[in-house]
Structures are given as structure tokens and as C-alpha cells.
A = this chain, B = another copy of it.
Amino acid sequence: MEFSSKLLERAVNEMSQLPGIGKRTALRLVLHMLRQPKEQTIGLAEALQNMRHEVKFCKSCHNISDVALCEICSNPNRNEEVVCVVEDIRDVMAIENTSSFKGLYHVLGGKISPMDGIGPHDLNIESLVTKVSKGEVKELIFALSSTMEGDTTNFYIFKRIQDFGIITSTIARGISVGDELEYADEITLGRSIVNRIPFESSIKI
């Protein structure tokens, strides 16, 4: 791609560094910005700069936060003894939306994935082990994706903390609410039979 302007070219090249955005999409976005009022592009640029310079991570759960201890961790109404281990802030937002969890979170910042060069030391695992070793946690809920990497990470953490004698659980895997059985994959269906629950507890929710 040859550009008639170096400024345009640089903007397109920087935009196309983002995941899922190629040169053509980047050019379309940048041309859109040129058609909009100047303030809009300046606003975007400033928001990105401010965020990158000033964003903090909660010192306890590693969630993104504007203050040293995030709103969830500093909320006295939440149960500090139950900690839900998640991959990133999107999972925190998803679980918070359900309003069904009143404990705290621990954000790992990713999953162990040797293929992508991510090992246990690239994630916030040590601070979790320290937290557990101090006896502050009674139950750890693993809420990672149900993939090879998620299972590996669960198992690694489980091995590290199994001697501290706390309860560990993992979110239930089964048929999605509203799904028809005939379209469910066999592994999910198999697991949902093995891990069946008392009918009385299923009608409470």
C-alpha cells in the first residue's frame, strides 16, 4: 500500500498493530476520523494516553482499577474468604453481571500457555499462593475457560495450594440454560450426567 501522506501512513500502520485490524480496516477507520470533528480523534488519543499512563491494578486482586485497592476488594459487604480465580477483567465483569457471587476475585492476567510462551511466572499466581498460605482464604473457585490452557492453569494452581487444606471448586460444566440436548456436544453432555445435581437444588435458582 502506497500512501500520499506520511502522517496518514503512520496512523494506519499504528492502527493495524491492533489485533484483528488489518491495513484496509485501519485505513477505513482513519479516513472515518478525518471526516469527523477534530475533537473526536483528539479525545480518543487522549483517552488512550491517559489510560496507559495512569491505569492501576488492584494490589490485592490485580483487577484494573483507578485506586490502589479496587472497589470489590474494599467493599466490606463481600466475603473475603471465598476467592474466584479468573483470567481477566472481562470475566470479572461477566460474573458481576450475574449478581450471584459475593466473594472476591483474583485476576491471573492470562492462562498458562506454553504455545504462546506464557508460563506460570507471567501470571499473578505467586500472590494468590501467598494469599492462600496466610490462611485468609477458605474456598477457591476456579472460573477459567474450559480449554486445555484453562485446565492446565487450574491444575497448576491446585498443585501449588493443595497442602494448605482449603476447599477448591470449579464452576459447573453442563448444558447451557435454554439449550436443546440433541445439539449439545458429547463431552459436555457426558459431564453433565456424571456431575448431576439434586433436582431440588436445580429449582432454587
**A161, CB-defined interface residue at 8 Å:** no
Q: Given the known inter-chain contacts A7-B50, A64-B8, A66-B7, please indicate yes or no for A43 contacting B14, CB distance below 8 A.
A: yes
Contact partner of A92 (CB less than 8 A), chosen from B4, B40, B65, B92, is B4
Q: Do the beta carbons of B7 and A54 come within 8 Å of each other?
A: yes
Q: Given the known inter-chain contacts A1-B93, A47-B11, A52-B34, please indicate yes or no for A66 contacting B18, CB distance below 8 A.
A: no
Q: Do the beta carbons of A5 and B66 come within 8 Å of each other?
A: yes
Q: Do the beta carbons of A70 and B4 come within 8 Å of each other?
A: yes
Which residue in chain B gives the minimum CB-CB distance to A110? B35
Contact partner of A19 (CB less than 8 A), chosen from B18, B19, B32, B52, is B32
**A27, CB-defined interface residue at 8 Å:** yes
| Size bracket of the A interface | 35 or more
Task: List the B side residues contacting A15 at CB < 8 Å.
Answer: 44, 47-48
Q: Which of A1, A48, A64 has the most CB of B within 10 A?
A: A48
**A185, CB-defined interface residue at 8 Å:** no
Q: Which of A15, A44, A64 has the most CB of B within 10 A?
A: A44
Please give the residue numbers on chain A whose beta carbons come within 8 Å of chain B beta carbons, in ascending order: 1-8, 10-11, 13-15, 17-21, 25, 27-35, 38, 40-56, 58, 63-66, 70-72, 88-90, 92-93, 96-97, 109
